[in-house]
Amino acid sequence: MQSDLFAPPGPSVATRADIVDATEEAALIAAIDATDPTPFRFQGWLGKRLTTSFGWSYDFDRGTMAAAEPIPAFLLPVRERAAAFAGLAPDALEQALLIRYDPGAGIGWHRDRPQFEHVLGISLGAPATLRLRRRRADGFDRATIPLAPRSAYLLSGEARHDWEHSIAPMDEPRWSITFRSLSERGKAAVS
């Protein structure tokens, strides 16, 4: 096997296995489904993934943020663990986005909106692969990060701002919880 010693390194993405246990995972999946998630909307288009926002929501049709229902009690213990993993105060994670990926659903290449700073994802259900890419003059630098069930990842710094990320369409159901902090731009937009 030949290794490519000159391949550009991928971004630094912190990960943590088993941020929740199997019992909590099942309870979180049931609670996410009980929020009655709706199809993701983007500029008049409906996506296959289903979402519910708490704390703040971002309207992709209008390009604006709005206050949403407060982050519910069932998310607070996992938000505390996610914040500790990221080295943040729990209250800094002001937004929670719950997503259900039914078979055939994924998420295309994107960077989270600049109103948000830290992006902490918790993967539930089927394993997935977080794909990352960064444009260069002759194409893209690419990297992948496996997302095991019950694991967490943190996008911050270069990984958050310079790289796009996506998840290919899933063959099996998957759920995710994404906690975000507000950037200075986000704080200005909601004050």
Cα Rg, the chain, nearest whole Å:
16
Judge whether 163 and 132 are in contact, CB under 8 Å. Answer: yes
What average pLDDT score do residues 99-117 get? 89
In the predicted model, is pLDDT for residue 106 greater than 60? yes
3-class secondary-structure state, position 164: strand
The structure tokens listed for 83 are 């914040």
Q: Which domains does the chain have, with CATH numbers?
A: 14-190 (2.60.120.590)
For residue 41, the model assigns a pLDDT of: 65
Which one has a higher pLDDT value, 48 or 147? Answer: 147
The structure tokens listed for 65 are 């943020």
Q: Collect all residues with Cβ–Cβ distance below 8 Å to 164 and sequence separation of at least 6.
A: 109, 110, 111, 132, 133, 134
Question: Burial level of 171, CB count in 10 A (0-12/13-18/19+)?
Answer: exposed
In the predicted model, is pLDDT for residue 6 greater than 60? no
- Residue-wise pLDDT for 26-67, tens only, equals 999 999 999 989 887 665 566 678 989 999 887 766 666 788
Distance CA 153, CA 156 (A): 10
